[in-house]
């Protein structure tokens, strides 16, 4: 294992890997971990013996991440697995997301917290429907750092021409989606070329290795530049004062700031601010804080602290894109609990506007509602007003989940339009 040491870029980059079942995702992750020396002897020995039991000549690096028994039996990844590694520059959290169509929910899960997405393409097969779906989902979930790893270059003789063909197919598709920036790296997860090291098989390729890309791409773009959104998690009474605990979803906050507490829209001033190290003058997106206000006002869990000048509008009706997870289809009139930030409100499906046909990349009528793994546009009516942002503008403040009030299952991921 290596330790993140860089002072500038240190911190954490979360990324997902996604692709079709046979694109070699697990092998690619195994390769990244192996070549950055994260794989320890006992893990390698376990992989070697498991590979031998399966009659394989060489250790199958994909066995490092295919963690559940059921998956090992089927030879596919059925759930998101999180893996960790660090280089001299950064700590990384990988969400290894499955390519099987029926497990779209897991890809959405991994993508929701990712700063970057590595979409795998099989150089021998090019752009497949699954690849389209993954690129679409990564873009839909607001990931700005997108890189296509054109894998299995060893099977096409490391031919630059084939890499260019695949690149063109993806680029054309990405343009239709409105993706502004898409990077490409030709790799061989099996042989290791252009993953962590350059290897010697693709001297024609001048760009970064996949690892160099991941080491240098910017982490969460939400950052301090966005509007202040601080959902209140808890109210504490200590020594006569009330403290409000929460984490900044976006923006920045300073001691003395005039703020608005929604939904009651009460104005007050931040009298004191506390971070993990004690009292402080300011805090930014991602930081957990405690606040004391100058005035005694009624604030409870689920309230939202914002700056008055950049306050979101109250909405009793939301237009949203949903990724539907449940066995039972989503239909008009159904009632759910909607969790946004720390606020949970009852919601009713007023209409299902359309579903997305991922082949045609176009809205299609959805008379039967949304089935499992469908993506669609809906209008929701809310029992209480919600102060949400558009997801495309503010990931942290535009996301919600729907919970079935009877089963308590999380049935949908939602993004405010």
For another protein, the binding residues (CB under 8 A) are: 1-5, 7, 10-12, 40-43, 46, 50, 64-70, 72, 78-84, 86, 90-91, 93, 105-106, 108-109, 112-113, 233-234, 236-239, 243, 245-247, 276, 286-288, 301, 325, 339-340, 342, 395-396, 399-401, 403, 408-410, 413
> Shortest gap between Cβ of 86 and another protein (angstroms)?
7
The residue among 236 and 351 lying less far from another protein, judged by its C-beta, is 236
Residue 18 CB, shortest distance to another protein, in Å, is 15
DSSP state string for 323-384? EE--SSPB-TT-EEEEEETTEEEEEEEEEEEEEEETTTTEEE--TT-B-TT-EEEEEEEEEE
> Which residue lies nearer to another protein by CB, 129 or 276?
276
Q: Which two tokens stand for residue 221?
A: 């773009």
Minimal distance in Å, beta carbon 304 to another protein? 14
> Smallest Cα–Cα separation from 19: which of 85, 92, 93, 99?
99
Task: Decide whether 181 or 408 has the Cβ nearer to another protein.
Answer: 408
Nearest distance, CB of residue 84 and another protein, angstroms: 5
Shortest approach of another protein to residue 344 CB, angstroms? 9
Is 199 in contact with 188 (CB distance < 8 Å)?
A: yes
Nearer to another protein, 8 or 296 (CB): 8
CA distance 26 to 1: 19
Q: Among residues 81 and 318, whose Cβ is nearest to another protein?
A: 81
Quote the CA–CA distance of 149 and 123 in Å, as a whole number: 9
What does the DSSP 8-state code read for residue 229?
Answer: B
14 to 17, 92, 194, 413: CA distances (angstroms): 10, 6, 20, 19
By C-beta, is 184 or 336 nearer to another protein?
A: 336
Residue 345 CB, shortest distance to another protein, in Å, is 13
Crossing angle of the two packed helices 129-140 and 160-177, in degrees rounded to 10: 50
Distance CA 363, CA 411 (A): 21
Beta carbon nearer to another protein, 150 or 323: 323
In angstroms, the CA 272 to CA 243 distance is 9
Q: How far is the CB of 35 from another protein (least distance, A)?
A: 16
């Amino acid at each position: 294992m290596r330790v993140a040491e860089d002072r500038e870029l240190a911190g954490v980059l979360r990324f997902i890997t996604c692709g079709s079942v046979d694109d070699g995702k697990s092998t690619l992750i195994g390769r990244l971990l192996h070549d950055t020396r994260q794989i320890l002897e006992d893990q390698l020995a376990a992989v070697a013996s498991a590979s031998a039991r399966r009659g394989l000549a060489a250790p199958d690096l994909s066995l490092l991440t295919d963690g559940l028994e059921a998956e090992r039996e089927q030879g596919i990844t059925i759930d998101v697995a999180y893996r960790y590694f660090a280089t001299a520059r950064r700590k990384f959290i990988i969400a290894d997301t499955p390519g099987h169509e029926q497990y779209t929910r897991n890809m959405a899960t991994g993508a929701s917290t990712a700063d970057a997405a590595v979409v795998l393409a099989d150089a021998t097969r090019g752009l497949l429907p699954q690849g389209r779906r993954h690129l679409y989902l990564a873009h839909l979930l607001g990931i700005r750092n997108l890189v296509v790893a054109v894998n299995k270059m060893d099977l096409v003789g490391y031919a630059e021409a084939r890499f260019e063909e695949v690149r063109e197919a993806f680029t054309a598709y990405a343009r239709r989606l409105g993706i502004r920036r898409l990077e490409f790296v030709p790799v061989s997860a099996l042989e290791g070329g252009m993953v962590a090291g350059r290897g010697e098989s693709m001297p024609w390729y001048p760009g970064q290795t996949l690892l160099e890309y991941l080491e240098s791409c910017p982490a969460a773009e939400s950052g301090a530049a966005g509007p202040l959104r601080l959902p209140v998690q808890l109210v504490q009474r200590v020594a006569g004062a009330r403290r409000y605990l929460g984490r900044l979803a976006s923006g920045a906050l300073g001691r003395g700031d005039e703020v608005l507490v929604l939904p009651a829209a009460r104005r007050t001033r931040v009298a004191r601010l506390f971070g993990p190290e004690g009292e402080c003058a300011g805090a930014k997106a991602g930081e957990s804080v405690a606040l004391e206000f100058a005035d005694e006002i009624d604030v409870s869990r689920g309230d939202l602290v914002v700056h008055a000048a950049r306050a979101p509008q109250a909405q009793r009706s939301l237009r949203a894109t949903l990724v539907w997870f449940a066995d039972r289809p989503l239909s008009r009139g159904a009632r759910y609990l909607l969790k946004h930030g720390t606020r949970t409100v009852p919601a009713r499906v007023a209409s299902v506007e359309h579903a997305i046909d991922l082949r045609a990349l176009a809205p299609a009528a959805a008379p039967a509602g949304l089935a499992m793994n469908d993506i669609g546009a809906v209008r929701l009516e809310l029992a209480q007003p919600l102060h949400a942002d558009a997801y495309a503008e503010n990931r942290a403040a535009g996301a919600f989940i729907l919970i079935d009030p009877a089963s308590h299952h999380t049935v949908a991921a939602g993004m405010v339009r």
